[in-house]
Amino acid sequence: MRKMVLVGCGLATGCSTVPSKPPACAAAGTNAFIGMMATSKTGAAILSATHSRQLRWAAPGAMLTMDFRPDRVTVRTGPDGKITAINCD
């Protein structure tokens, strides 16, 4: 019986009771990307710089959902395809 309890506890330690936080977006320092062309390479650099999991491109006039995602960065572009704003939302 004691072995069963130890095995059960050993398996339970793999499940943490503290929920892990997803990485939160941090848009500070992204001004260097403003005015650059919106490309997949630029998008990857923005994801890396903001520590985000998801990138959302927002073209002029695009309809966007209003749900908040702490791990998402939104990159707004102008009609010329250049980045105009970067926000965490």
Instruction: Please state, in angstroms and rounded to a whole number, the distance separating the CA atoms of residues 55 and 5.
Output: 45
Tens-place pLDDT, residues 51-70:
999 999 999 999 999 999 99
pLDDT of residue 89: 84
Mean pLDDT value across the chain: 85
Enumerate the domain spans of the chain.
Answer: 21-88
Q: Is 14 helix (H, G, I), strand (E, B) or coil?
A: coil
Q: How many CB atoms lie within 10 A of CB 27?
A: 19
Write the DSSP symbol of residue 13.
Answer: T
For domain 21-88, the CATH superfamily is Trypsin Inhibitor V, subunit A (3.30.10.10)
